[in-house]
Structure 1
Amino acid sequence: MARNRQPILKKCRALGIEPMVLGVNKTSKRGFRPNANRKPTEYAVQLREKQKARFIYNVMEKQFRKLYEEANRKDGVTGLNLVEYLERRLENVVYRMGFAKTRRQARQIVSHGHVLVNGRRVNIASYRVKVGDVISILENSKNLDLIKEAVEAANVPAWMELDKAAFSGKILQNPTKDDLDFDLDESLIVELYSR
């Protein structure tokens, strides 16, 4: 299994995103210094947007390409479908519900088997949740300090609801672009892949 072991702050600086988007409460001492006399090409802008989405959602290139192709086949706007698919990944849902402080931590919680979907244990981070699914924490895992601290500071988006006392949440509707917690221009990603 491929793993991304790049330093978070270094990659954030290269992509021009704030580390707080990833849930990392650190800042780099180095400032972002783009090449002053050089304007990035259209391809470079599109590639950076795709790399930003891949890095934030912790998805490798092959899997990201498959998500794009599936979003392209579905009726509707391809870019919005892609954003919806990325947001509905189980690791992202666990993070957005507040069971973890970062998306990487959420991935670990899922892969270690602490998460139940509709009462069944799911340890696949890329599992795609549906409207009406109930995501909860395993009974024995509710005592973990890591999860307790994250749930206390949870800020849940409008497309899901959270019951902090029961450590469970429900998907109310499919997410839209407005529900993202960072800026993403998905049309650039579509343009890049449709070359």
Structure 2
Amino acid sequence: MARYNGPKAKIARRFNDPIFGHSKALQKKAYPPGQHGRGRRRKQSEYAIQLMEKQKAKYTYGVLERQFANLFDKASRRSGITGEILLQLLEARLDNLVYRLGIAPTRRAARQLVSHKHITVNGEIVNIPSFHVQPGDVVAVREKSKSLELISDSVAANTVQRYPWLEFNKAELAGKMINVPTREDIPENIKEQLIVELYSK
């Protein structure tokens, strides 16, 4: 399936947000990319602002257009705040959980670990990055893959448990999703209400 493999700094500058992690380019050039990036003064329309927010969410979680639309449809059919439920569904993706637990340094690396069958859910190998993890599920590194340098380096660098809805056993390289995160627990700088307004047109 197609994935965005282009320059990450360019996308971060477009949204003026380090959505792929720390970016030196964003600090040096705090304006949009392209020939006219520095001189843009045109006021954006309401639609453009909403579309930018949706695109930012898609790039952040590495989700394609159809997948994102399906997730929004799923969120809109559930009772509750649609925007918050959408973010909860994105956070419950297996590749995101692997990243949040610190098993992989980035979501891209997490997606690759899942695709290459290095990750198990409740003891069973799962190689679908979009797999929906439920509260109580245990996400772990496959026994044969525990010596991978990428995993050991990432776990060693991730010294602080940052998310109250997850718990991680560094010795076992296994983590559990305790509960569905609240909006306050999700650190991403995404204005989900704008996405809801865009899809409601």
Alignment-derived partner of residue 20 in structure 2: 22
Structure 1 residue matching 2:104: 3-state secondary structure: coil
Alignment of 1:58-137 (within 5 A): 58-137=62-141
After TM superposition, the structure 1 stretch with the greater mean CA deviation from structure 2, 82-91 or 7-16, is: 7-16
Q: Per-residue deviation at 1:63?
A: 0.5
After TM superposition, the structure 1 stretch with the greater mean CA deviation from structure 2, 148-157 or 56-65, is: 148-157
Alignment-derived partner of residue 3 in structure 1: 3
CA offsets 1:108-135 (integer angstroms, 9 cap, x no match): 0000000000000000000010000001
Do the aligned partners of residues 181 and 22 (structure 1) sit closer, same or farther apart at CA in structure 2, a change above 3 Å counting? Answer: farther
2:52 to 48, 59, 73: 48
Q: Per-residue deviation at 1:26?
A: 3.5
Structure 1 residue matching 2:84: 3-state secondary structure: helix
Q: Per-residue deviation at 1:136?
A: 0.5
Q: Per-residue deviation at 1:102?
A: 0.4
Does the Cα contact within 8 Å between 1:46 and 1:191 map onto a contact in 2? yes
Unmatched 5+ residue regions in structure 2?
none
Alignment-derived partner of residue 189 in structure 1: 195
Unmatched 5+ residue regions in structure 1?
none
CA–CA distance in 2 between the matches of 1:39 and 1:123?
A: 44
Q: Report the TM-score when normalising by structure 2.
A: 0.91
Higher RCO (CA < 8 A, seq sep 6+) = 1
Does residue 160 in structure 1 map to residue 166 in structure 2?
A: yes
Aligned length: 192
Q: Per-residue deviation at 1:36?
A: 4.5
CA–CA distance in 2 between the matches of 1:81 and 1:142?
A: 33
CA–CA distance in 2 between the matches of 1:182 and 1:72?
A: 20
